[in-house]
Amino acid sequence: MTINDFLNEKKKYVELSDFDSHFFDDIANRSKILTCIQCGTCTASCESGRWTALKTRIIIRKLILGDLSVLKDPDIWLCTTCYNCYERCPRDVKPTDVIIDLRNYASKLGNIHPVHRKVVDFLKATGHAVPINDKIKQMRKELDMEEIPPTLYKFKDEENSELTKYAKELFNLVPPKDEKEEVKDKGKKV
Amino acid sequence: MVQEKKYAFYLGCIMPNRYPAIEKSTRYVMEKIGYELLDMERAGCCPAPGVLRSFDKEDWMVAAARNICIAEKMDVDLLTVCNGCFGTLQEVNTQLHENEELRERVNLKLKLLGDYEFKGTIEVKHVAALLSIDIGPTEIQEHLVRRVNATTAIHYGCHFLKPSQVRQIDSPEDPTILEDFVEALGIKSLNFKQKYTCCGAGGGIKAAYADTSMTILSEKMKHISDVNPDFILDVCPFCHLQFESGQDWLKKNHDINYDIPVFHLSQITAYCMGMEERYMGLQYQNNGKKYELIPIEVQTND
């Protein structure tokens, strides 16, 4: 069965919108998830899953079955990207990359944690996910270092600064999703 | 060919903006082993491979390529001190090098950010790989003025070695490069349970799910404290932050006070090369403030 056969087969059960079919096509092509034999090595190796409800094997299983609820599952955000599953998967499914792809699609639906949105705000305002502060500036002085490192932040006030372009072009997140929209997706599960 | 004995010094976020002493130490070490570090003006966040890659892989790649382009323009390889930065920059550099279609797409967007075009002319290097492999435990001894009589719990972190098919540095299941290297500095590396597990900081967990992140760290800290090391040794400012803030969290929430100092490989190597102890910055960290390094002066023949 080729990936296209599989997707056609799936369409009998799930009415896929353009977004959804693009989503499955993309994930399946990139990561060979259809070769997953559900052995559970990923779950057994998972550093986060030891403490949380994150079960990588089940996420991959749902994905194969076309269950779109994975995109709203907060568990996909519990992966630390430690790459143990990626290293050990006997079918080279690269589950870490699959989870990152899932997060990308979840983000396109606006499913992003408010704290993560703040990290992006920092990035756009300073060029850093972790910006400098007065305490650190003082520390740098005491260590006989330049008070402000020569990164985007230092040049932020230049005319037509690169930080302005950077903030304008990159990581423009979809706003938080309206609750009413979510009801529409429910009929799409297999 | 890029210029030899020079690196574009990629700072990232946490090192310059939280642990400047790691930056200070890295600069010291590189000068002592005969490398010139060039500033990368207008570099930005790598961006972080866990949190920022999760929102938009393509933007993540464009922002990373922009940083790589800054080094390309300087005609030197890029040096990073952090596993996260290394993870992003090494992976994007590799992918854009191998995939022409991707490169063209990224280059189109790069134009919107300034005068940038990814050419694929440089390599991305982690300071820990430079020290422990390129220089190595034998040659490093020529540069030491003292060794340290100490035991340590080594923490490799995740993105330094994994995914191993992309990184190609050492085995992710049983690495030895850092153990061999610190032995040359007089430091004994201790074995402990689950030595190669994650610190729990990555993937955006530390920001959004702090308790989960701290739970993962707590188990790691327990196994580390079981073997009672003089200090924890990491090669990543984010793991460094996690070990520091994690110990604070345990103190505050569970009344467990391990008080174990945390050093980055650059800090301890710089000290062994003669850097003043105050530049290591232990006084600015929250744990192990009372720890006193026991130096052993190196005998020279001349």
Indicate whether A92 and A125 sit together in one domain.
no
pLDDT band at A179 (very low <50, low <70, confident <90, very high): low
- Amino acid B57: pLDDT: 93
Name, of A62-66, A156-160, B271-275, the range with top average pLDDT: B271-275
Helix axes A95-108, A56-65, angle to 10 degrees: 60
Indicate whether A35 and A82 sit together in one domain.
yes
A38–chain B Cβ distance below 8 A for any pair: no
Tell me phi and psi for residue B189, to 5 degrees: -85, 130
Domain tally, chain A: 2
Tell me how far the alpha carbon of residue B47 is from its chain's centroid. 15
Q: Is residue A165 part of a domain?
A: yes
Indicate whether A12 and A87 sit together in one domain.
yes
Say if the Cβ atoms of A143 and B215 lie within 8 Å: no
In the chain, the amino acid numbered B209 is Y
d(CA B206, CA B202) in angstroms, rounded, equals: 7
What does the pLDDT look like over A1-13, one tens digit per residue? 566 665 565 554 4
Say if the Cβ atoms of A149 and B52 lie within 8 Å: no
Residue A185 has pLDDT above 60, yes or no: no
Say if the Cβ atoms of A47 and B198 lie within 8 Å: yes
Q: Confirm whether the ipTM is greater than 0.90.
A: yes
User: If you average pLDDT over residues A71-100, what whole number do you get?
Assistant: 95
Indicate whether A7 and A40 sit together in one domain.
yes
User: If you average pLDDT over residues A107-116, what whole number do you get?
Assistant: 92
Average pLDDT over chain A, rounded to an integer: 86
Grouping H, G, I as helix, E, B as strand and the rest as coil, residue A20 is helix
Picking from B17, B198, B216, the nearest residue to A128 by CB comes out as: B17
Tell me: domain B135-297, CATH 3.30.43.10, correct? Answer: no
Residue in chain A lying closest to B285 (CA): A139
Residue A14 has pLDDT above 60, yes or no: no
- Residue extents of the structural domains in chain B: 6-126, 135-297
Q: Is residue A75 part of a domain?
A: yes
Indicate whether A56 and A7 sit together in one domain.
yes
- Amino acid A13: pLDDT: 44
Tell me phi and psi for residue A36, to 5 degrees: -60, 130
A117–chain B Cβ distance below 8 A for any pair: no
- Count CA within 13 A, CB hemisphere, residue B128: 33
Domain that holds residue A32: 3-111
Q: Is residue A144 part of a domain?
A: yes
Helix axes B237-254, B83-98, angle to 10 degrees: 140
User: If you average pLDDT over residues A122-129, what whole number do you get?
Assistant: 97
Tell me how far the alpha carbon of residue A116 is from its chain's centroid. 11
d(CA A167, CA B35) in angstroms, rounded, equals: 34
Indicate whether A83 and A13 sit together in one domain.
yes
Q: Is residue A175 part of a domain?
A: no
- Amino acid A109: pLDDT: 86
The CATH number covering residue A74 comes to 1.10.1060
Indicate whether A85 and A164 sit together in one domain.
no
CATH topology of domain B6-126: Glutathione S-transferase Yfyf (Class Pi); Chain A, domain 2 (1.20.1050)
Indicate whether A63 and A82 sit together in one domain.
yes
Indicate whether A34 and A17 sit together in one domain.
yes
pLDDT band at A16 (very low <50, low <70, confident <90, very high): low
Indicate whether A129 and A81 sit together in one domain.
no
- Amino acid A190: pLDDT: 36
d(CA B98, CA B46) in angstroms, rounded, equals: 20
Boundary of a domain, candidates A111, A132, A149: A111
d(CA B66, CA B192) in angstroms, rounded, equals: 40
Boundary of a domain, candidates A43, A76, A111: A111
Residues 129-168 of A with CB under 8 A from B: 129-133, 136, 139-140, 143-145, 149-152, 155, 162-163, 165-166
Indicate whether A41 and A128 sit together in one domain.
no
Residues 69-88 of A with CB under 8 A from B: 77-84, 86-87
Joined tokens for residue B174 = 């049983």
Residue A182 has pLDDT above 70, yes or no: no
User: If you average pLDDT over residues A157-175, what whole number do you get?
Assistant: 95
Residues of chain B with pLDDT under 70: 301-302
Picking from B56, B202, B216, the nearest residue to A171 by CB comes out as: B56
Grouping H, G, I as helix, E, B as strand and the rest as coil, residue B79 is strand
Boundary of a domain, candidates A90, A111, A132: A111
Indicate whether A57 and A87 sit together in one domain.
yes
- Amino acid B78: pLDDT: 98
Tell me how far the alpha carbon of residue A93 is from its chain's centroid. 17
Residue A19 has pLDDT above 80, yes or no: no
Q: Is residue A106 part of a domain?
A: yes
Residues 6+ apart with CB under 8 A from B198: A47, A48, A80, A82, A84, B157, B158, B216
